[in-house]
Copies of this chain bind each other. A is one copy, B any other.
Amino acid sequence: MTNPNPELQARNSIRFETRTSIEQVEESQDLAPKFDKDGLIACVTTDAVSGEVLMLGYMNGEALKKTIASGEAHYWSRSRKMLWYKGATSGLVQRVVEMRIDDDQDAVWLRVVLATGPKAAPASCHVGYRSCFYRTVELKTGRIGYAETEKTFDPKLVYGDAPNPTIL
């Protein structure tokens, strides 16, 4: 007897169609995502409750299928060059409430509910803020300010000595 894995079965049944026409891509019900030359599609993730933009990430085909099949956000980590199950280290899993795709199908939008981690309040940013977009850019001057004045968690406590994903 095989032990059926519902998530794997779901993942295997998801089809990405070949892109054949503008009408198909924009107006049909074909899921025909466009991956860039690195094999990635951009993903905006917002908090389903507050509406706040939490992060902008990237997915390869596998991450996109895993996200659809499991209902939890998976990305491609461009700094670590690996599939990234969000929350694997921190516990700050993102449960997807709704997924959307844009007109030319080169971007997806996830509305998520944030989990609480064992050592962190619900948040999304490796620096410790709720949103990765914790800073403002002032119009006219370009001066940086802070939209979030306090960190939500201590990144040292949550990530330990894991390498910082920011690339210069």
Contacts and interface: CB of A to CB of B under 8 A. Distances in A.
Count of chain copies: 2
Nearest to A9: B140
A19 B168 CA distance: 6
Contact of A68 (B13, B34, B44, B142): B142
B139 A104 contact: no
Interface in A108-136: 108-109, 125-127, 129, 132-136
A168 B14 CA distance: 21
Interface residues of A, number: 64
A3 interface: no
Contacts of A51: 46, 50-52
29 contacts: A14-B142, A20-B168, A22-B164, A25-B168, A26-B127, A34-B167, A42-B42, A46-B51, A51-B51, A53-B109, A56-B102, A56-B107, A68-B140, A68-B142, A69-B140, A96-B139, A99-B138, A99-B139, A100-B133, A100-B136, A100-B137, A101-B136, A102-B132, A102-B135, A103-B127, A103-B132, A104-B167, A107-B132, A109-B133
